[in-house]
Structure formats: C-alpha cells, structure tokens
A = this chain, B = another copy of it.
Amino acid sequence: MHKRTLVKPDGRRLLLYGREPLADDLGAPSPSTAPHTPNPHLRWHPLRGEWVAYAGYRQHRTFLPPPEYNPLAPSRSTEHPTEVPDGRWDVAVFENLFPTLSLRAHDAPPLTVPTAPARGVCEVVVFTPDAAATLGRLPLAHVALIVDVWADRYEELGRRPEIAYVYPFENRGVEVGVTLHHPHGQIYAYPFVPPVAARELEQQRFHYEQHGRGLLEEMIAHEIADAARVVYQGPHVVAFTPVCARYSYEVWVAPVHPAPSFAALTADARRDFARAMKTVLLKYDGLWGQPFPYILAFHQAPTDGAAHPEAHLHAEFYPAYRMRGRLKYLAGSEIGAGVFTADSLPEETVKELQAVVVDVDA
C-alpha cells in the first residue's frame, strides 16, 4: 500500500492511497478555500443516557454545486475544483467539509444539560476515482486495498487521545438518503464509544467473562455448523445471515476467529475479508438485477486505551428493502420502543442470496 498525506487550501487533510506508487504531482484541491473552522457541539440526553451531535451549519449549506458537478470525482476544472486530485491514485480520504465532529470544535453553549465541543473526525472515503463504479464491482485487489485503508484509518485515528471509537460505514442509495452517487463511504471517529457499539461490547464482555470465549466467535461457530444461513465461507472469513437478523437480507461479515479490528487482521485475512465483501455485494446487486441499497456498519474494538478481549471485528449490512419494491420503514415499534419486527424469516431471505451466482474473480 502506498500512502501520501496532503493538506487542502482550507486546512483539511487529504490522504491518497494506491496499490502502485502514487503519481508525484498529485494536488490537494478543495471546493472551498476559506479556513475550515467548524464548531459542532454535543448535548447530553439525560433520558436516553447518550450524546447528541449538533452541526447546525449542515442544514444551511451555502455550497451549491452546479448541476452534474461531482465533488468526489477527480478535479479537472480550476473554476469548480473538487475534493480529490486528477492523477494516479486508487482510494482517497479527506475530512468532510460539513462535519458532525471536528477536532477544531472549540466551545459549546452552556445549557441545562451537559454540553461539550463535538471533538472527533468525519472523513469521506472515496472508493475509486471512477464515478460509475460500485464497491462490489471493483477488482478484488482494489477492495483489498480499501480494507487496508480501513485498517490504516483505525490505527491513525485511533492513536489520537481524543478518539475513543473509529467507525467506518457506507450509506448506499437514495433510499437511505444518499445524494452523491460516486462510490464512497465515511468514517466517524467519536470521542466516546457510541451506544450501539457500547451495548454490543457490554454483551460480549459479559459472555467473555462467563465463558472465556467470544460471543460472536460462538455465534459464528453455530452458524458454520448449521450452514443454513451461510453466504460465503473462506479460509479466514465468513459471511452469513444471522439467526437473529432484524432486516430482510441482513448479512454479517466477520473473521471466524476473533480479531479486534481491521488493523489486527493478517494480510491473508484482509484479502479474504475483501473476497467475502465482494461476494455479498455482487449477490445483493444480482438479487433483483439492480443496485441494492443498504447501510453498512463496521464494529471494531474501541481505541479508548482499555483492553478489549471481548471485541470481534464485524460488518453488518442493513438492507433498505424488506422485499422487492417494498421499503422497510423503521416506525413506532423500532424507533419508539426499540423492538424490531421482521416480516420475513432469516432462513427464507438468505436462500435467495445463496441462489445468486457471482464471479468474484471476474
């Protein structure tokens, strides 16, 4: 992996990654040149016991690109520079222009609940310079590079004392609110362990202390033994619809043996992780012969300085549709009570995914 760190005219960081050596003359363009001084803040929600992030400037973005302007495409116009340079690179990472979290956040309003500057990092991960590609259709070696980038970001961001949790994710499709179609993901680096991860880690820690073995490791062993819901099984990594799936076509991807993060995976395991991801992604797009929208979340060990023997890296895909043409709405039961109501059985929807034949090496 080749990597270069640059700084944009407005002070934001740009990182370029390549499988081959990067071009010498890569610039660091930016659609904005004024110094980047975001000041998001956090407010404590006493009833839920969690932080809420406020970034009011996201609502009133003054940045109005001309139609067909793609800020994630290689910059080829001096009049409308984009976020990434023209030239030879494979993956680009830059700080979000409208971040929910920023290390530059400097103060928070005094209120009747605790508040704090929303210190953290929001990065955009441009998966490829090719606006017409998709994560699943990229060559396997390119997907493997993206896995390496996630590992690099985990290490670099996690090393910062302000950062307690590094969270890569991808929102894909207008159905989940995406407006930029250029293939990209995001990374949020939080100053606290976020609630969903905290809850999972609490369950995992309890199980680890009771049984001396990882909870997810045990779930995976059961899924492999059962085999009914397995979508991919490689030498290191497995993809499956969990027996307790909340979404139709939900899939998890994880190493069979516990690894706390992408950074802890061997080169072979990373390549296998990439193969598992590509398999799932191609099956998703093949299912109905159309791009399959989802939220993709990666859960890793916190970077809060504590030991986390209970942690086990995994990806969770949450599909937007519960069946062809029918969106799954999270409504009263899911949002107001936290109880997921599944209209289909995991054993049924996974059969459809298993039946989709894909060629990962094509």
A interface residues with partner B (beta carbon < 8 Å):
43-56, 58-59, 100, 111-113, 167, 169-171, 176-178, 186, 188, 190, 194-200, 202-204, 207, 215-216, 219, 222-223, 226, 242-246, 295-297, 316, 318, 322-323, 327, 329-333, 335-345, 348
A332 to B188, CA, bound (A): 9
A223 to B47, CA, bound (A): 14
Contact of A195 among B54, B244, B296, B337 (CB under 8 A): B337
- Determine if A186 and B332 form an interchain contact, defined as CB atoms under 8 angstroms apart: yes
Shortest beta-carbon distance from A93 to chain B in Å? 16
Main secondary structure of the interface of A (DSSP, over half): mixed
Shortest beta-carbon distance from A237 to chain B in Å? 17
19 interchain pairs, CB-CB under 8 A: A46-B244, A48-B199, A51-B339, A52-B246, A52-B339, A52-B340, A53-B342, A59-B343, A112-B219, A112-B243, A167-B336, A169-B333, A169-B336, A169-B337, A170-B332, A188-B333, A188-B337, A296-B336, A297-B336
- Determine if A188 and B339 form an interchain contact, defined as CB atoms under 8 angstroms apart: yes
- Quickly give the copy total for this chain: 2
CB nearest to A201 among chain B residues: B47
A4 to B330, CA, bound (A): 33
A200 to B338, CA, bound (A): 11
Residues of B within 8 A of A322 (CB): 59
- Determine if B243 and A100 form an interchain contact, defined as CB atoms under 8 angstroms apart: no
**Given known contacts A188-B339, A336-B318, is B243 in contact with A331 (CB within 8 Å)?**
no
Residues of B within 8 A of A207 (CB): 46
